[in-house]
Chains A and B, each alone.
Chain A
Amino acid sequence: MDTLQKLEILSDAAKYDVSCSSSGSSRPNTQGGIGNAAKAGICHSFTEDGRCISLLKILFTNYCIYDCAYCVNRRSNDVPRAGFTVKEVVDMTINFYRRNYIEGLFLSSGIVKNADHTMEQLINIAKHLRISHKFNGYIHLKAIPGASKELIREAGLYADRLSVNIEIPTEANLKMLAPDKNYSSVIAPMRWIKNGIDEYQEERRKSHRIPLFTPAGQSTQLIIGATPDSDRQILSLASSLYRHSDLKRVYYSGYNPVNLKDNRLPVLEKPPLKRENRLYQSDWLLRFYEFTVDEIVNETHPYLDQELDPKLSYALRNPHLFPIDVNKADYHLLLRIPGVGVKSAKMIVMARQHRNLNSDNLTKMGVTMKRARYFLTCNELPSPSVQDFKPEFMRMLLTANIRKKGIPDALQMKLSL
């Protein structure tokens, strides 16, 4: 089989892993070396489904000894199988990189022989790139569940980012769908990576000459809609990963019905894209808008509203907090106004030091006034606010507004909430 045929199989097999970020690392180029890592990451292309292509995302092999219900590559599936050689992966990465197609490599793999053996293969490729080819572009390696602590620590010396995919948000459901895995085989490598990063930062304070360790941190992925787990369970898990394990990103992947005949899985016609999008928006609220999980979903509302974005739905549940005075409220409160994003909140804080702002100024700073006007006051005569309408009427007014928009909310990239 030639490289082209292998690439066909092994990029197709890797496509469901949605993370493609190349951000968070600023590895400089070295004497005679190839490339560097840009702190903010760069997208080089966009697929037909509108996702950013930043890395060459492939499996080393799609042979696998495990049989996870939600995965195309599971042992019991009859699909074409292939495996790259080390040289093939290295040459492709470098030649794609030199042509400005990619920021680097995202390498994952099915499990061959055992977890340690598989992990060794991935490390070997990263090592070749870093040492033999002085490659300083971005490398994201999958940390294979069940691999030993020593190997995970070694991987961290060459990778910019490591990730272990949790995939299934609750332990009981994971057990049911992935009988060969268990929660501890997933959680343990996450802890080792976190400890590695902590130790690195500690050492770094003493000396600047120690080698980097996973400078772009770790991420994970959760599959949405393959199990009955609620949005509240999903977001609570994500939030605790951000707070306690220092994860850089949690990715949400709407379940693509790949194994139709498996009766442990629901029958879906299409991946639940809407729900996935609402989860990404909520994730942004957690990371950049200073929201807590309970403010987004709670015992009485364990699922996200599909019709309204989570920030708007929060505002409608809490009308007593509005309208907010944009000329006085602190940054934290500005972020709560539907239609005001992080960028415009920052601009407001800067601009109002010089003079009071009116609605025309706000529009020009990128505030979506159509939505925001019910939730703020500015240097103008008061207009009706969310307090003046019945909640059902308000909801109708705002959903009508949103429906007119032509382009669907984008995931991963900028979400204006």
Chain B
Amino acid sequence: MNSIEYRYDGTFQGFLCAVFDIYSRRDDPVAIHPTEVPSLLFTDKYTVITNAERAERVWDGIVRTGGEKTGEHIYHAFLSCEKNVEILLMRYLRHLFLCKRPVMDDLAYPDVLKVFQLYRTVSREAHRILMFLRFEQSADGVYFAPFAPKYDVLPLTLNHFKSRFASQSWIIYDTARNYGFYYDLQTVERITINEPAFNRETGKLARNAEHPDENQWQALWQIYFKKTAIAERKNLLLQQNFMPKRFWKYLTEKRAIV
């Protein structure tokens, strides 16, 4: 018998359906790949059809056996898009369903530790959005913020921004994946901007797209950032350690003086 390769649509739901099919067909695939990844030579292919109801059954099984925290670990690890993360997660799930109890504490078990580490990395990236995202008020009053996180974690931050900035309408946009979310004071909706009024690289709004007062607040913030540092204690290495350079292009205080 040839070894078999699973192909799915790359979504988390799709992955859960792959898990469903692996159990019902009693397969042991050598790879589970999103369709955009070139397929392996010399394998039989099986294409997963995504189905919300099946995905939910698998999800319920995970949460029933491992608790919500296990679900979170699996989901965040999946978002890491690490190479072959699907196979890792599949092994983890087999282990979970075999033990019939949470295994997330068993950190000396290599697959469990690996999933835990991926979970931590991805969660940290999401937290960095909460830290380093900056809004600029646009001419029509909407607050706009660009960000290009390493992983596709914008959706994990929406609850935070929705409750914190409930009384202003905003757009948070992933400039690398070219989609974002728009909050219009009522609901949050997924959007794509085709002809952006912002710089594609830095996300900075063009001057004529900015609110007339925007410049003034940015100037104040830049002065504050400069003045609150203590020159005698200067330590740029420490600063960069906490605030890696790849985030600087979004930071109002790190942009050229306005």
A residues in contact (CB < 8 Å) with B:
3-4, 7-8, 11-12, 14-16, 28-29, 32-36, 38, 42-53, 56-58, 92, 95-96, 98-101, 256, 270-271, 273, 347, 350-358, 361, 364-365, 406-408, 410, 413
Contact = CB atoms under 8 A, between A and B. Distances in A.
Contact of B131 (A42, A351, A358): A42
A278 to B, nearest CB: 16
Interface in B122-137: 127, 130-137
A48 B251 CA distance: 14
Given A42-B130, A46-B242, A361 B234 contact: no
Nearest to B233: A49
A275 to B, nearest CB: 13
Nearest to B247: A45
Given A7-B223, A34-B165, A38-B160, 18 more contacts: A29-B163, A29-B164, A45-B251, A48-B229, A50-B233, A99-B135, A99-B143, A100-B133, A101-B134, A271-B232, A273-B233, A347-B107, A350-B107, A354-B106, A354-B108, A355-B109, A364-B107, A410-B241
Given A3-B220, A100-B145, A101-B134, A47 B228 contact: yes
B113 interface: yes
A64 to B, nearest CB: 19
B107 A351 contact: yes
Contacts, number: 160
Contact of A36 (B163, B217, B224): B163
Interface string B206-235: 000000000001011101110111111111
A49 B230 contact: yes
Contacts of B132: 44-45
Given A7-B224, A32-B167, A99-B217, A350 B105 contact: yes
A407 B237 contact: yes
Nearest to B161: A100
Contacts of B232: 256, 270-271
Contacts of A361: 107-108
Interface of A is mostly: loop
Given A7-B224, A36-B164, A100-B133, A52 B108 contact: no
A16 B131 CA distance: 23
Contacts of A12: 227-228
B253 interface: yes
Contacts of B243: 45-46
A351 B236 contact: no
Nearest to B145: A100
Contacts of A47: 225, 228-230, 239
Residue of A52, A101, A273 contacting most chain B CB atoms (<10 Å)? A101
Contacts of A98: 135, 137, 143, 165, 168
25 contacts: A8-B227, A14-B228, A15-B227, A28-B163, A29-B163, A29-B164, A34-B165, A42-B127, A45-B131, A48-B234, A48-B235, A49-B231, A49-B239, A56-B224, A99-B252, A100-B133, A100-B135, A100-B145, A101-B221, A101-B253, A256-B232, A271-B232, A357-B108, A407-B241, A410-B241
